[in-house]
């Protein structure tokens, strides 16, 4: 970052704030566990989605390339881990070896997708990425014959959990009278990784590369004229976005101990995109907010819809799952209608929207 | 397999592909009209097709349940004439509620509301019609006719001819009527079109409503052709149709028709032939298990089977877009920010 920033001393108030947030984050899984272990799992999912949303934000938010098949990279990471750490092939590599491998493979897929699509713009790019995502899913679904690679629609189970030495993160244990469950242990691993991903993204945004992405998003021709190698910079956006997806996929595999093609449909891609757009494209805190909200909202609806119907009508009229999705759809529409730039838009975007339109399209 | 036989199979696949392609083309027109005018991917268009199919099915079932002795064609027409206005109303309301307020918003905002509308429509259909596959009552028996060894049913002929007529009708409306002229003007430049006295809102609503009417017909076609309807059927159909629209060059009517029919044929041919093309039993280096599999199945073990049908559509799309970045017939490169 810039030099004058580093020279400034950080006031104690900020330190106090950071410390309080840190304590809150550290205690969160125990508070959530009061409402049931399911909520700890939901917290973990929220963090996986934060990583995914931040990865997609690089492609969509920073570089302005609409990607509707992002979940494919998540799938690549997840299957990489599942194949290299499960009885399916009898290979059991450690977590820290597979994670970079998964990120690397996802990165290669990102470049594979990026290279032929460099010339495409806007919605053409969107449909090609969408097709790419579907192709990956169909392959995962069907690569069980004649040679069984992915085990088809049944998916792969009994995947090794994350462990350091003999310390397994899947089992419940108690330390000095405090019992700590598997999901709670994973929470801390995920928290560290999520913080790392957030920091990397914050640093990227203000880097030379981040500014190049922003320039391409605003005007590709002008960016090219300013000497930006648009081809390489766009490919880097695809590659880096994809690697974050791959990392998130690996962790997903390890925490779930099961993967199947069902988890990687177009709907998932759309949900992650909704997180990015709803939170505020290109603005990291906004994207994090979007990811948390869209993970929690369906879960909150899931647990409140049946009691609410009982209260209002005295019986359950509609299937809770259906109502949950219906409300989710209505929420997407409503939030976009009232906050078209997202819940927490970046300062640049806000300024653009408030400024009167000079030239029309 | 002998040469003569192969021609039959090819012709059969072409007929099936053309039938499916006509349906894709009708749906693709709805996508392309909306896109051409306001530059929005109307993600919920597939759900409109689904609702058309569901409404028509309900009307047909209700009429049969009421034991009115009407000819089958009248019953189906009744279904169609309820489905079309229903879809038109839904599309009109959708545009007014979810898209119109966002016309000046960032480009991705209406895309998200479109996705939201898609989820809403799907789940409303789930509430109304339930989770199960609904079967279309067998009131018509398609009669197969033999052409050069391949069979074509009267239903297939009807679908192809009706789709052709509707497409012709749409081209007539767009090219020869005042409304069509207004649509073309709005597509070129909404501001100037407004200055020329065109009510842009009416034109945009018209594009949605006409697209929905075509979607309703397409929904009925798919339902009678496959004999089933399902609350989730609109999703993949819409995706394919949108792919078809992009393949032909989105925003271009002729492109949508060409793309739809091409996509149908590519899919049918792909599904029909991929098994033979990727038969691996002829390969010299095979593992023991694979050799056993080959011996056990008359030398027919394919690397990729017809379950890869959906891959073709996307694969061809990617190939076409690499060489023609704005589709087969598209000329304009979209640069909306």
Residue from the list B104, B246, B310 with its beta carbon closest to the beta carbon of A124: B246
Other beta carbons less than 10 A from residue A312's beta carbon: 9
DSSP character string of A63-97: S----S-THHHHHHHHHHHHHHEETTTTEE--HHH
Higher-confidence residue of A64 and A166: namely A64
Mean pLDDT, residues A228-234 taken together: 90
Q: What is the pLDDT of residues A294-331, one digit of tens each?
A: 888 888 887 887 778 777 777 777 777 787 788 888 88
Within a domain: A360: no
Give residues 56 to 75 of A whose Cβ lies within 8 Å of B: 60, 66
**Residue B136 three-state SS:** coil
C-alpha span between A84 and A76 (Å, rounded): 12
- Residue from A330, A301, A275, A282 nearest A70 by CA: A275
- What is the DSSP-derived secondary structure letter of residue A60? I
- What is the DSSP-derived secondary structure letter of residue A177? T
B325 part of contact set with chain A, CB < 8 Å: yes
pLDDT interval class at A355 (50, 70, 90): low
C-alpha span between B11 and B332 (Å, rounded): 35
C-alpha span between B236 and B241 (Å, rounded): 8
pTM above 0.90, yes or no: no
Mean pLDDT, residues A104-120 taken together: 88
B279 part of contact set with chain A, CB < 8 Å: no
Query: Sign (positive/negative) of CA torsion B292, B298, B302, B308?
Result: negative
H-only helix segments in A180-219: 182-205, 208-218
A337 part of contact set with chain B, CB < 8 Å: yes
Interface touch B325/A139, C-beta < 8 Å? no
Interface touch A322/B317, C-beta < 8 Å? no
Which residues are registered as beta bridge partners of B228?
B135
The whole-number pLDDT of residue A324 equals 76
C-alpha span between B210 and B188 (Å, rounded): 19
The whole-number pLDDT of residue A288 equals 93
Average pLDDT taken over every residue of chain A: 84
Q: What is the pLDDT of residues A203-222, one digit of tens each?
A: 998 899 999 998 988 888 89
pLDDT surpasses 50 at A3:
no
Within a domain: A304: yes
Within a domain: A32: yes
Interface touch A134/B314, C-beta < 8 Å? yes
What do you get for the CA distance between the two ends of chain A, in Å? 36
Please determine, for the modelled complex, whether the ipTM score is greater than 0.90.
Answer: no
Higher-confidence residue of B280 and A286: namely A286
Distance of residue A117 Cα from the nearest chain B Cα, in angstroms: 7
**Cβ neighbours for A250, distance < 8 A, ≥ 6 positions apart:** A77, A78, A80, A81, A95, A98, A99, A102, A103
pLDDT surpasses 80 at A145:
no
Within a domain: A6: no
Q: What is the pLDDT of residues A250-276, one digit of tens each?
A: 989 988 888 988 889 888 888 898 889
pLDDT surpasses 80 at A346:
no
B109 part of contact set with chain A, CB < 8 Å: yes
CATH of B3-323 among 1.10.10, 2.60.120, 1.10.3470, 1.20.1180:
1.10.3470
Mean pLDDT, residues A40-58 taken together: 92
Q: Which of B106, B231, B244 to mutate to test the interface with A (most CBs of A within 10 A)?
A: B106
By CB atoms closer than 10 A (0-12, 13-18, 19+), residue B171 is middle
Domain holding A216, by residue range, is 12-354
8 Å CB contact between A292 and A75: no
The whole-number pLDDT of residue B53 equals 94
Higher-confidence residue of A345 and A51: namely A51
Closest residue of B to A137, CA-based? B311
- Residue from A21, A35, A23, A27 nearest A178 by CA: A27
Residue from the list A132, A147, A329 with its beta carbon closest to the beta carbon of B116: A329
8 Å CB contact between B59 and B82: yes
Residue from the list B112, B313, B333 with its beta carbon closest to the beta carbon of A277: B112
The whole-number pLDDT of residue A352 equals 66
The whole-number pLDDT of residue A356 equals 53
C-alpha span between A251 and A189 (Å, rounded): 9
The whole-number pLDDT of residue B298 equals 67
C-alpha span between B112 and B191 (Å, rounded): 25
Interface touch A131/B314, C-beta < 8 Å? yes
- What does the domain layout of chain B look like in residue ranges? 3-323
| Total CB pairs under 8 A between chain A and B | 150
- Residue from B28, B48, B31 nearest B91 by CA: B48
B200 part of contact set with chain A, CB < 8 Å: no
Domain count within chain A: 1
| pLDDT tens-digit profile, chain B (337 residues) | 444 567 778 888 899 999 999 999 999 999 999 998 988 888 899 999 999 999 999 999 998 888 777 788 888 899 999 999 999 999 999 999 999 999 888 777 888 898 899 989 999 999 899 888 988 887 778 888 888 778 888 889 999 999 999 999 999 999 999 999 999 999 989 899 999 999 999 999 999 999 999 999 999 999 988 888 888 888 889 888 988 998 888 888 899 999 999 999 988 888 877 777 777 676 666 777 777 777 766 666 666 766 777 788 788 888 888 888 788 887 654 443 3
The whole-number pLDDT of residue A361 equals 40
B123 part of contact set with chain A, CB < 8 Å: yes
Is the N-terminal amide bond of A146 cis, ω within 30° of 0? yes
Q: What is the pLDDT of residues A176-188, one digit of tens each?
A: 667 777 788 888 8
Q: What is the pLDDT of residues A13-44, one digit of tens each?
A: 888 888 888 888 888 888 887 788 888 888 99
The whole-number pLDDT of residue A359 equals 44
Interface touch A130/B41, C-beta < 8 Å? no
pLDDT interval class at A147 (50, 70, 90): confident
Distance of residue A236 Cα from the nearest chain B Cα, in angstroms: 19
A183-189: long-range pairs with CB below 8 Å, 24+: A183/A29, A183/A37, A183/A40, A183/A41, A183/A44, A183/A255, A184/A29, A184/A30, A184/A33, A184/A40, A186/A44, A186/A162, A186/A255, A187/A28, A187/A29, A187/A40, A187/A43, A187/A44, A187/A47, A188/A29, A189/A162, A189/A251
pLDDT surpasses 70 at A99:
yes
C-alpha span between A322 and B202 (Å, rounded): 34
A357 part of contact set with chain B, CB < 8 Å: yes
Closest residue of A to B332, CA-based? A121
Closest residue of A to B100, CA-based? A337
Q: What is the pLDDT of residues B242-294, one digit of tens each?
A: 889 988 888 888 999 999 999 999 888 888 777 777 776 766 667 777 777 77
Interface touch A146/B325, C-beta < 8 Å? no
- What separation in angstroms does the CA of A120 have from each of A196, B42, B269? 32, 20, 28
**Residue A227 three-state SS:** coil
Residue from the list A132, A326, A349 with its beta carbon closest to the beta carbon of B124: A326
B308 part of contact set with chain A, CB < 8 Å: yes
Interface touch B112/A145, C-beta < 8 Å? no
């Amino acid at each position: 970052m810039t030099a004058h920033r580093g020279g400034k001393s950080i006031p104690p108030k900020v330190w106090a704030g950071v410390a309080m947030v840190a304590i809150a984050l550290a205690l969160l899984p125990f508070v959530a566990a009061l409402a049931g272990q399911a909520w700890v799992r939901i917290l973990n999912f929220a963090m996986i989605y934060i990583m995914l949303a931040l990865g997609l934000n690089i492609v969509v938010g920073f570089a302005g390339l609409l990607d509707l098949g992002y979940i494919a990279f998540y799938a690549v990471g997840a299957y990489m881990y599942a194949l290299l750490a499960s009885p399916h092939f009898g290979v059991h590599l450690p977590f820290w070896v597979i994670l970079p491998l998964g990120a690397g493979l996802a990165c290669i897929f990102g470049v594979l997708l990026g290279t032929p699509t460099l010339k495409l713009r806007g919605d053409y790019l969107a449909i090609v990425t969408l097709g790419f995502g579907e192709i990956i899913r169909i392959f995962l679904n069907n690569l069980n014959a004649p040679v069984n690679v992915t085990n088809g629609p049944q998916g792969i189970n009994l995947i090794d959990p994350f462990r350091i030495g003999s310390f397994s993160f899947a089992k419940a244990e108690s330390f000095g009278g405090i019992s700590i469950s598997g999901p709670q242990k994973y929470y801390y691993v995920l928290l560290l990784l999520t913080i790392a991903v957030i920091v990397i993204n914050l640093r990227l945004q203000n880097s030379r590369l981040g500014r190049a992405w922003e320039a391409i998003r605003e005007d590709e021709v002008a960016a090219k004229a300013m000497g930006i190698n648009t081809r390489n910079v766009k490919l880097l956006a695809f590659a880096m976005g994809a690697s974050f997806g791959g990392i998130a996929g690996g962790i997903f595999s390890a925490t779930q101990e099961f993967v199947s093609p069902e988890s990687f449909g177009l709907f998932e891609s759309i949900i992650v995109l909704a997180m990015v757009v709803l939170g505020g494209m290109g603005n990291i805190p906004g994207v994090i907010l979007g990811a948390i909200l869209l993970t929690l909202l369906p879960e909150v609806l899931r647990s409140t819809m049946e009691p609410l119907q009982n209260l209002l009508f005295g019986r359950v009229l509609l299937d809770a799952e259906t109502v949950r999705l219906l409300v989710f759809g209505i929420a997407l529409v409503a939030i976009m209608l009232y906050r078209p730039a997202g819940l927490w838009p970046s300062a640049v975007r806000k300024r653009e929207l408030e400024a009167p339109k000079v030239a029309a399209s | 397999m002998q040469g003569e036989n192969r021609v039959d199979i090819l012709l059969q696949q072409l007929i099936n592909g053309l039938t499916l392609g006509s349906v894709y083309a009708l749906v693709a027109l709805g996508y392309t009209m909306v896109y051409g005018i306001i530059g929005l991917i109307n993600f919920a268009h597939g759900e409109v097709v689904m609702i058309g199919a569901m409404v028509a099915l309900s009307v047909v079932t209700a009429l049969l349940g009421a034991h009115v002795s009407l000819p089958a064609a009248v019953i189906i027409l009744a279904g169609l004439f309820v489905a079309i206005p229903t879809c038109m109303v839904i599309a009109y309301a959708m545009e007014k509620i979810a898209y119109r307020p966002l016309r000046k918003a960032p480009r991705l905002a209406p895309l998200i509301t479109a996705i939201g509308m898609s989820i809403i429509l799907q789940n409303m259909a789930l509430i109304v019609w339930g989770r199960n596959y609904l079967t279309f009552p067998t009131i018509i028996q398609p009669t197969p006719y033999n052409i050069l060894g391949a069979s074509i049913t009267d239903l297939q002929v009807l679908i192809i001819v009706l789709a052709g007529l509707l497409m012709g009708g749409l081209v007539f409306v767009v090219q020869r009527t005042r409304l069509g002229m207004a649509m073309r003007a709005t597509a070129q430049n909404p501001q100037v079109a407004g200055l020329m006295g065109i009510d842009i809102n009416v034109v945009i609503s018209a594009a949605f409503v006409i697209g929905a009417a075509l979607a309703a017909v397409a929904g009925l076609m798919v339902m009678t052709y496959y004999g089933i309807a399902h609350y989730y059927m609109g999703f993949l159909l819409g995706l394919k149709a949108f792919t078809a629209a992009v393949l032909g060059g989105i925003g271009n009517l002729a492109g949508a028709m060409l793309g739809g029919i091409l996509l149908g044929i590519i899919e049918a041919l792909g599904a029909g032939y991929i098994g033979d093309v990727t038969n691996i039993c002829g390969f010299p280096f095979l593992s023991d298990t694979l050799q056993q599999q080959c011996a056990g199945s008359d030398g027919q073990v394919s690397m990729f089977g017809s379950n890869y049908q959906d891959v073709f559509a996307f694969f061809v799309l990617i190939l076409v877009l690499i060489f023609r970045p704005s589709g087969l017939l598209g000329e304009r490169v979209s640069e909306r920010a």
